[in-house]
Amino acid sequence: MTSKIEIKTALDGLGRKFTTAENALSTIQPGDHIFIGSACATPRTLIRTLEAMNKNLADVELFHFLTDGSIFHKNDTPQTNFKHRVFFVGTDTREAVKQGQADYAPVSIAQVPHMIANGRIVVDVALVQTSLPDGHGFVSLGVSVDIAQAAIKNAKTIIAEVNPNMPRTIGDTNISVDRIDHMVLVDTPVIEYLHPPSDAVAEQIARYIARIIDNGSTLQIGLGQIPNEMLKYLFDRRDLGIHSDVITEPIIDLIEKGVITGKNKSIHKGKVVCSYCMGTRRLYDFIDNNPMFSFHPIEYVCNQAIIARNTKFISVTQAFAVDLTGQVCTDQFEGEFYGGVSTQPDFLRGAAASPDGKPIICLSSTTEDGKESRIRSRLQEGEGVTIPRSEVHYVITEYGSAYLFAKTIRERTLSLIEIAHPDFRSLLLDEAKQLGYVRQDQILKSKVAYPADEEREVILKNNQKILIRPAKASDVKGLQEIFYDLTSKDIYTRFFSHLRSLSVSTAENLCNVDYENEMAFVAVSGEREKDFIVGSSCYYVDLSTNLVEVAYMILPEFQSIGLGTVLQKRMIECAKSKGFRGFTANILSENKRMLKLANNGFTNVSIKKSFGECEVTMFF
């Protein structure tokens, strides 16, 4: 805490600037446009005084981004004498928007400073909260720079709550006291905010997101609960960086554990770059005069070209709903405005342009009461498109992840239904058929979550890294591509006939499984969003014998380097965990490679030969 002596020293010589809130606000005139400072720097004392003033303030408009206390409530009813224009519908403005006391402007917050600068948004008065002045006559905007710098630069009058408890942050956060017209001393705790505890659904989504974040990535966290929960699952990563609109409490532990270092960032190396922060006193003390943190105006932090200069940039956006074509709604749910466009389009595009970047959309599969799917055949009336389908890459729910970029409507539809809640998959598939998104005979066998825990990274004999993962119904095209790269001999030994094509229905039998009595794996090479299938395996149970019939298909260039052995090992592990007794397979006598594989990893193998075929039974 700042002592009274330190406060007095900081204020020496500024007596003419300091006044009461009433006197400072007395200059406001009817029709003025007033900017309100953001988030945990919301100037509550000035707002409360303004609301209580007995003066003609007709047609005064207050405009602001995310705030905490811009509108006060009594018995859950908003109490304000003014019209509000908001760029984000938060808890304190949601009811006011619903009742028509506030208007929501759906625009990227990064565009607001430009509109202020060119006069499209007029700023007559800026109300902000700052730190104490330093010895050089500058105050810091502390925990919230965001759009405040633009408002201050263009405001006719600036009124600042000067708070001794506001941390002094480093970066583009300073304002000369000469620029401030009136200063009001407010010795109150800085507003604190923590996300409520996450439920099991949010935790599972967070784990899925964390799985695809590589060492050396640079992260944008966002405001959502799920992106913040994700941070808890990154303690085994190395040299992560932060370039985010907002930072929150969990990053402290990652910094202290040496996970966040910023060593691999190509711009602002070693720095945590942000525009505002929300947390508790612990976070505010941590950022106070800490040179590791660099606070900048929102238009700089969200500049897509700057974002894209960081390799492996990860943007995580939490959504309310997504339709089967990939259209995303983030600022409206069931007809009611909530949230906002915020910085999402800018970070998603920046991440997409970043080398090896990953733009991620996350959402729970259902509404909180479980009665409605958030993955919809179509967005509902009153749910606007915030992010167009053409810009969506990853979508993640508690049932897995779907990669949509440049995929067809059919591929998108199947991928999204696979990560929808099992209770709604049949309905979504029926609606997709009605809309013509998928074939009329399309089926989806899986009724459970994608078994992400079954994924394994392996190194083959040629030192090539391969991901072995459970197959999905949407892998059909990849399996067809393997087929057309097989030799005629490989096709005959695999399918026992000289097939010239692999139909969609046949390919689906190799990947569209229920993950219970049927299982399939694919081996993929390359990065997740640019990967391609190089091999596959599958099994189907015979309940009368408790044995499973197995089959494999491997690209010629990936044969004889251990891929078949790896796929078989995964199949054995999975089948054993389900309580099955062993494998059966029909193998041509001339297929020496598969016969050799059949003799590996089993306690007892029996082979019955008949007319050039071997009926092989392999017991665990």
Q: For residue 365, report the phi and psi dihedrals to the nearest 5 degrees.
A: -70, -25
Quote the DSSP letter at residue 439. Answer: -
Q: Strands 138-140, 174-176: parallel, antiparallel or unpaired by DSSP? A: antiparallel
In DSSP terms, 72 is beta-bridged to 79
Rounded distance, CA 284 to CA 557, Å?
56
453-619: CATH topology: Aminopeptidase (3.40.630)
In DSSP terms, 241 is beta-bridged to 218
Rounded distance, CA 358 to CA 396, Å?
12
HEC profile of 226-280: HHHHHHHHCCCCCCEEEECCEEECCHHHHHHCCCECCCCCCCCCCCEEECEEECC
pLDDT of 224: 86
Question: Superfamily assignment of 200-434 in CATH?
Answer: Acetyl-CoA hydrolase/transferase C-terminal domain (3.40.1080.20)
Residue 498, burial from CB neighbour count under 10 angstroms (0-12, 13-18, 19+): exposed
* Residue 222, CB-side half-sphere exposure with 13 Å CA sphere: 27
Rounded distance, CA 469 to CA 471, Å?
6
Same fold, 4-185 and 453-619: no
pLDDT beneath 70: ranges in the chain: 1-13, 15, 496
Secondary structure (DSSP) of 548-593: EEEEEEE-GGGTTTTHHHHHHHHHHHHHHHTT--EEEEEEETT-HH
pLDDT of 452: 87
Residues 183 and 207: beta-carbon distance below 8 Å: no
Residue that the structure tokens 């729910």 belong to: 397
Residues 296 and 273: beta-carbon distance below 8 Å: yes
Rounded distance, CA 510 to CA 586, Å?
16
Q: Which amino acid is at 438?
A: V
Q: How far is CA 166 from the centre of its chain?
A: 30
In DSSP terms, 247 is beta-bridged to 277
Q: Taking the domains of the chain in order of start, what are their residue ranges? A: 4-185, 200-434, 453-619
pLDDT of 594: 82
Q: Three-state SS for 216?
A: coil
Q: Three-state SS for 515?
A: coil
pLDDT tens, 114-142? 999 999 999 999 999 999 999 999 999 99
Q: Residue 188 CB: number of other CB atoms within 10 A? A: 13
b or e along 605-619 (b: 16 or more beta carbons within 10 Å of the residue's beta carbon)?
A: beeeeeeeebebbbe
Residue 503 makes CB contacts below 8 A (sequence gap 6+) with none
The pTM of this model reads 0.89
Residues 514 and 541: beta-carbon distance below 8 Å: no
Q: Strands 157-162, 182-185: parallel, antiparallel or unpaired by DSSP? A: parallel
Residue that the structure tokens 């007029």 belong to: 122
Closest CA to 387 of 294, 336, 309, 323: 323
pLDDT of 539: 94
pLDDT of 491: 87
Residue 383 makes CB contacts below 8 A (sequence gap 6+) with 320, 321, 329, 332, 333, 334, 335
Rounded distance, CA 512 to CA 472, Å?
6
Rounded distance, CA 222 to CA 159, Å?
29
* Residue 127, CB-side half-sphere exposure with 13 Å CA sphere: 29
Closest CA to 320 of 352, 366, 351: 366
- CATH code 3.40.1080.10 for 4-185: yes
